[in-house]
Amino acid sequence: MDFSVDDAARERIEALRAFGREHVRPAGLEADREGRPIPVGHAYFDAAMQHGYGRTRWGREDADAGASNTRMALLLAEEFAYWDRGVMIANPGPSLPEQSVIGMGTDEQKERYLGPFVAPDRPRWACFAMTEPGAGSDAAAIQTRARKDGDGWILNGAKCFIGSASRSDWILVQATLDPTKGRAAQRAFFVEQGTPGLGPFKTEKKMGLKAYESASFSLTDVRVPAANLLGGEARYERKAGFKAAMQTFNAGRPVIAANAVGIGRAALDEAIRFAREHDLLGRDRVRDRIEAMARKVRMARLVCLRAGQLADLRRANIQEASMSKALAATVALESASLGLELLGAAGARGDALIEKLYRDAKAMDIVEGTGQIQRMIIARQLVGLPRN
Ligand SMILES: Cc1cc2nc3c(=O)[nH]c(=O)nc-3n(C[C@H](O)[C@H](O)[C@H](O)COP(=O)(O)OP(=O)(O)OC[C@H]3O[C@@H](n4cnc5c(N)ncnc54)[C@H](O)[C@@H]3O)c2cc1C
């Protein structure tokens, strides 16, 4: 298994490292101390835009080439999260729904919804809303209803924990035509900000990752035109083939795993820095903790890169993707915990980086499929059962 990267890739990681040191870590610490997401007009977003964030991959040959290199994307995801994973998600851009729009959107939808992200005049956001107060892991249980009404659709329901929702130009809302029919009855709709019946938005209070907004909101008789159904009506006649294609490889969960590796590595470096400054490196028990952190972080990175390599080869990686996420999220938490132990009282203070990393790390086991769900997927695959 060759996980080496070329000089151009190394340069991109170095550039991100400098950006992370100068802009990302300070913005993340500030948001954490103030207990609120980075405000929309914050100077961080100007710096992020200058660094190239906020733009869509749609129609960009250079970006498309980069996207096919999952390993590269994973190393960048690790590096960003090393400096602050919450800030990474706060970045402007079409984020989570971008891939769905590129893969399933009609030409008009790509133009209308991704067009403004080609050369954005200001920081712009978009988001994907799946989770509901009664439907998290079990996404088939969502209750937000979509009802055909003349030439449009009426949406009613409630969503929670949706990243950057109140600042998004549009939200891709997952809804069901019939809650008794599971995933087959689900559709996604573009809901533009300001549409009557959308909101109000309430920012959730989170234990970590405070730099980005997670919001709950409701949809009350929200009317959208027929053109806002992702992919248009025609898409649903050829859905089965698409679903099969999506299930063969997965690039999303390894990104969360890479983020977790970044957090684990940050905890390791913080522990070494502290031990060096306090002349503790001569103690066996201090070195034991450092060794355990380093070993586990490296192990998690290897599993994560293997999942990425399989995605690059367009080979099935469901097991590896789930293994990478289940493992790396646990390792990040363990690494931050060992770091906290090593720093002792100094680490437990509310303004210590290590305690922030501990709070940030926990969320990596929850988002995009909890640890239990990943372990269930792995076990079902191992014994030859379908995913669910
Ligand atoms: C920081 C953060 C950001 C988020 N951002 C978004 C976002 O942008 N968009 C979005 O749509 N959602 C988002 N979410 C929601 C996230 O996807 C859900 O929290 C996640 O899917 C888990 O759902 P839940 O919280 O309802 O927990 P539940 O599904 O209720 O699970 C509770 C516990 O039960 C376990 N469990 C559930 N089912 C099973 C089972 N069958 N077998 C064994 N154990 C099980 C779970 O592992 C978990 O430990 C975010 C969440 C967080 C914390």
- Residue with the smallest CA separation from ligand 1 atom 41 is 373
Look at residue 239 in the predicted model and tell me its pLDDT: 54
Catalytic residue status for 368: yes
d(CA 192, CA 170) in angstroms, rounded, equals 4
How far away, in angstroms, is 133 Cα from ligand 1 center? 10
Peptide bond into 200 cis (omega under 30): yes
Substitution site in 173, 367, 378, 380 for ligand 1 pocket (most atoms within 8 Å of beta carbon): 367
- Residue 59 pLDDT: 83
Ligand 1 pocket: which of 91, 217, 362, 370 to mutate (most atoms <8 Å of CB)?
Answer: 370
Q: What distance in angstroms lies between residue 367's CA and the mean position of ligand 1's atoms?
A: 6
Task: Report the distance separating Cα 30 and Cα 196, nearest Å.
Answer: 34
What's the confidence (pLDDT) of residue 111?
97
Task: Please give the CATH architecture assigned to the domain spanning 98-236.
Answer: Beta Barrel (2.40)
Between the CA of 157 and the centroid of ligand 1 the distance, in Å, is 18
Report pTM. Answer: 0.93
Tokens of 198: 């959308």
The CATH code of the domain at 249-382 is 1.20.140.10
Ligand 1 cavity residues, CB under 6 Å: 127-131, 136-137, 161-163, 206, 209, 214, 363, 366-367, 370, 372-373, 376
98-236 and 249-382: identical CATH topology? no
CA distance 213 to 201: 10
pLDDT at 76: 95
Work out which ligand 1 atom sits closest to the CA atom of 137.
Answer: 29
Output the CA 320–ligand 1 centroid distance in Å. 20
**Which of 128, 131, 387 for mutating ligand 1's site (highest number of atoms within 8 Å of CB)?**
131
Q: What per-residue confidence (pLDDT) applies to 236?
A: 67
CA of 372 to the centre of ligand 1 (A): 10
Looking only at the bridges linking them, the beta strands covering 186-192 and 168-176 are antiparallel
Contact 89, 163 (CB under 8 A): yes
Instruction: Pick the residue whose CA is nearest to atom 16 on ligand 1.
Output: 367
Residue nearest to atom 48 of ligand 1 (CA): 370
∠ CA 247-74-27, nearest 5°, is 125
- Name the closest-CA residue to atom 39, ligand 1: 373
The minimum-distance atom of ligand 1 relative to the CA of 370 is 47
Residue 158 makes CB contacts below 8 A (sequence gap 6+) with 132, 133, 144, 216, 217, 218, 219
Ligand 1: which residue has its CA nearest to atom 35?
A: 372
- Token pair listed for 188: 């996604």
pLDDT of residue 155: 98
What pLDDT was estimated at residue 386? Answer: 75
Ligand 1 centroid to Cα of residue 375, in Å, is: 14
Ligand 1 centre from 366 Cα, in Å? 6
CA dihedral 347, 348, 352, 356 (to 10 degrees): 110
pLDDT tens per residue across all 388 residues of the chain: 777 778 888 899 999 999 999 999 999 999 999 999 999 999 999 999 999 999 999 987 555 444 458 889 999 999 999 999 999 999 999 998 998 999 899 999 999 999 999 999 999 999 999 999 999 989 889 999 999 999 999 999 999 999 999 999 999 999 999 999 988 899 999 999 999 999 999 999 999 999 999 999 999 999 999 999 999 987 765 554 345 334 445 778 999 999 999 999 999 999 999 999 999 999 999 999 999 999 999 999 999 999 999 988 889 899 999 999 999 999 999 999 999 999 988 888 878 999 999 999 999 999 988 999 999 999 999 998 876 6
- Atom 14 of ligand 1, residue of closest alpha carbon: 161
Instruction: State how far the Cα of 236 lies from the Cα of 152, in Å rounded to an integer.
Output: 17
Helix (H), strand (E), coil (C) string for the chain:
CCCCCCHHHHHHHHHHHHHHHHHHHHHHHHHHHHCCCCCCCCHHHHHHHHCCCCCCCCCCHHHHHHHCCHHHHHHHHHHHHHHHHHHHHHCCECCCCHHHHHHHCCHHHHHHHHHHHCCCCCCCEEEEECCECCECCCHHHCCCEEEEECCEEEEEEEEEEEECHHHEEEEEEEEECCHHHHHHHEEEEEEECCCCCECCCEECCCCCCCCCCEEEEEEEEEEEEHHHECCCHHHHHHHHHHHHHHHHCCCHHHHHHHHHHHHHHHHHHHHHHHHHHCCCCCCHHHHHHHHHHHHHHHHHHHHHHHHHHHHHCCCCCHHHHHHHHHHHHHHHHHHHHHHHHHHCHHHHCCCCHHHHHHHHHHHCCCCCCCHHHHHHHHHHHHCCCCCC
Q: For ligand 1, what atom is nearest to the CA of residue 209?
A: 1
Tokens of 386: 């379908």
- Those residues whose C-beta lies under 8 Å from the C-beta of residue 296, and which sit 6 or more positions away, are 264, 331, 334, 335
Contacts of 342 (CB under 8 A, 6+ apart): 271, 274, 275, 280, 286, 289, 290
Residues with Cβ within 8 Å of residue 207, at least 6 apart in sequence: 359, 362, 363
Residue whose CA lies nearest to ligand 1 atom number 30 = 136
CA–centroid distance, 163 to ligand 1, in Å, is 14
Among residues 30, 111, 341, 368, the one annotated as catalytic is: 368
Q: In the chain, where are the structural domains located?
A: 7-90, 98-236, 249-382
Tokens (6 digits) for 231? 């992919």
